[in-house]
Amino acid sequence: MNAINQDPTSKPAPVFVISDEPVPWPVDVRVPVAGGEFQVQRFTALINVLSEAEHAGLAAPQIDDSATDLAEMLADNAQIFARHVAGWRDVFDAAGVLLPFDVDELHKLVTGRYGKAVSAGLWQAINEVRYGVRLGNSAPPPAAG
């Protein structure tokens, strides 16, 4: 059907849609394995897209490890993540049982055995959603010319 014959009651497809729904975003967690290697394990977090005013209202994460004890910093991160993370997919316990999302489970995950790795992965995902760019090592841009 060409433009001349289009149904006048049909609406054009939206180009830009603003939604309050959380964004499913991959979270990579680097877990140490035998032989001095790391294995990247991935789950999907449902990340709330916050305004800059909402970000400003959250406590800033501790950057300097000497400023506080690491366990305290992870507990602070867990509190901040509770505002950012609305759910998750593909998170299992050691027995292979799917873990349903709730704030207490998120806190246990962030403050637990692999809390530092989970915290790093969540911060990366949150910042990618916040700033609209992938972070980390990436291929350099093509040479101009």
Under DSSP, is residue 28 helix (H, G, I), strand (E, B) or coil?
strand
**How far apart, in whole angstroms, are the C-alpha atoms of residue 44 and residue 129?**
13
pLDDT score at 88: 97
| 3-class DSSP string for 84-140 | HEEEEECCECCCCCECCCCHHHHHHHHHCCCHHHHHHHHHHHHHHHHHCCCCCCCCC
pLDDT score at 56: 82
Please write the tens of the pLDDT for every residue from 37-79.
999 999 999 999 998 888 888 765 555 555 568 899 999 999 9
Q: Where are the domains of the chain?
A: 40-131
Residue 57 in contact with residue 48, Cβ under 8 Å? no
Q: What percent of the chain has pLDDT over 90?
A: 60
> For residue 127, is pLDDT > 60?
yes
pLDDT score at 58: 77
Please write the tens of the pLDDT for every residue from 10-23.
777 778 878 889 99
Taking Cα atoms as reference points, which of 62, 57, 60, 47 lies closest to residue 132?
47
Average model confidence (pLDDT) across the chain: 84
pLDDT score at 7: 67
DSSP state of 68: S
Is pTM beyond 0.85? Reply is no
